[in-house]
Chains A and B, each alone.
Chain A
């Protein structure tokens, strides 16, 4: 019995280790491929250069960094309020039968392939934005809306957990003092769940930064510093996915360098989320 447990334990440990090793290998690989060109071109001119013409020797990825930031922030401005409102509805307001139908429906959203989102974007959303607001339609706004919907399941499910973790005593205490249900939500439940809600947003953000396929289809991919949300833009992920198939030499290195920047981006977000979670853990 002793021996069996020992073996199982070690096997699990090896499994955990191997997944970690794969991650480490990928990281090392991307960094080895990507860092030389950053050093050669100079980190400043690589990160802050506005011109990207890789076949002609210009490797500035600032337009892509800005594109990623615009699109991600835009997606959060949409998914944040909608997601939190939806979570409040599910946890606090919806009757059980309604919640039981809506919850799995939202989780279903997470299972739709991103190509489908992109296609709906091109066929429905892009023409709508072009006709309503002008511009080419393929834009930051389109990408932000599509991404906002795509990250909703993430935001909602984590926000839900945060709201459900609010002790029932807080709610009763507020109700007993004459709070209406709405006041209880606004004054007690949301402030108490604050850290959890922020975590939901940060994790949603990580998902938004990494999404590729749907974004390529609706964001326009123009390599240009975006000025307003109706402009087309290119994100870090779409830059890699668009050009990797053909790239060779310095161009390919530059795309790996784009991957390095993305990697660091996501690491920072992850660290932020973990910090939040840990703080919340010690708080409760």
Chain B
């Protein structure tokens, strides 16, 4: 049994070690390949599309690495990566980078389907997460303590929520923290007093979405820009992209790729440009 426990500990340590090596690895460009690094929210989508790209363009190698939006932008600036990925808008100091939008992701606020509260204002949502509003009764719902669920520190979804909803207010430490969209959804689906936020593409009928500032989070509302809680999925390059980078980025705008983006539950950038 002692052996069993030790191997368990080893596993945890090995994962930690592996992760840190992975992070360290992001800093050096892979010779020969096209290195794309940044947001872990964007990473799965780009990885998926890069695989198609490599299958269709023989000899081209694209390395996709996840390290967070800020790290990705920095890598693009320093040249450590050819392309950076970000799941947030560029900050003023980063405006001189070349910005390339591949999709819009909306964050839906979800509650239990039986919850009578169907609409919130952004300030109300902020006060729930800052623990200033504690009971559903204060919002016209049935009496019951609000169980609010947030994502872990460092998550891109949490970052966008913090920026757009919370502003300078802090998310209260009383909140339940979960590290995946799936568990947030499972908890909200089972608790009449819960509230959470997940990517719009991940909403299922087990949970109900809430309209924010009187805008229901639908595909159209996101495209039209009315729904406030959205974030862009960006690719950035330092200066004008070179021919290799340009070829890859243009590929992502092709209809076949845009269809995949839509299938994955995001709003493709082509749709936005059409509106």
Contacts and interface: CB of A to CB of B under 8 A. Distances in A.
B154 interface: yes
A22 B190 contact: no
Nearest to B194: A136
Interface of A: 22-23, 26, 29-30, 33, 51-55, 122-123, 126-127, 130, 136-138, 154, 157-158, 203, 206-207, 210-212, 216-217, 220-224, 232, 234, 237, 240-248, 251-252, 255-256, 259, 263, 266, 270, 273
B12 A138 contact: no
B14 A26 contact: yes
B174 interface: yes
5 contacts: A136-B147, A210-B9, A222-B173, A240-B12, A245-B154
B174 A203 contact: no
B187 A126 contact: yes
B177 interface: yes
Contacts of B175: 222
A137 B191 contact: yes
Interface of B: 1-2, 4-6, 8-10, 12-17, 19-20, 23, 40, 67-68, 71, 145, 147, 152-155, 170, 173-179, 183, 186-187, 190-191, 193-194
B238 to A, nearest CB: 20
A266 B9 contact: yes
Contact of A55 (B12, B20, B153, B183): B153
Contact of A123 (B2, B147, B154, B186): B186
Given A136-B176, A157-B1, A240-B12, 16 more contacts: A22-B10, A23-B10, A29-B17, A52-B173, A123-B186, A126-B191, A138-B147, A138-B176, A154-B4, A207-B5, A221-B179, A222-B173, A222-B176, A223-B177, A241-B12, A245-B154
Contacts of A23: 6, 10
A207 B152 CA distance: 25
Contact of B190 (A123, A220, A245, A247): A123
A122 B154 contact: no
Given A127-B190, A210-B9, A270 B2 contact: yes
Which of B1, B17, B155, B178 lies at the interface centre, i.e. has the most chain A CB atoms within 10 A of its CB? B1
A198 to B, nearest CB: 14
A263 to B, nearest CB: 8
A103 to B, nearest CB: 15
A219 to B, nearest CB: 9
A244 B16 contact: yes
Contacts of B12: 210, 212, 237, 240-241, 259
B177 A221 contact: yes
Contacts of B71: 248
B153 A130 contact: no
Which of A52, A127, A232, A246 lies at the interface centre, i.e. has the most chain B CB atoms within 10 A of its CB? A246
B8 to A, nearest CB: 5
Contacts of A216: 178-179
Given A207-B8, A222-B176, A248 B190 contact: no
Contacts of A223: 173, 177
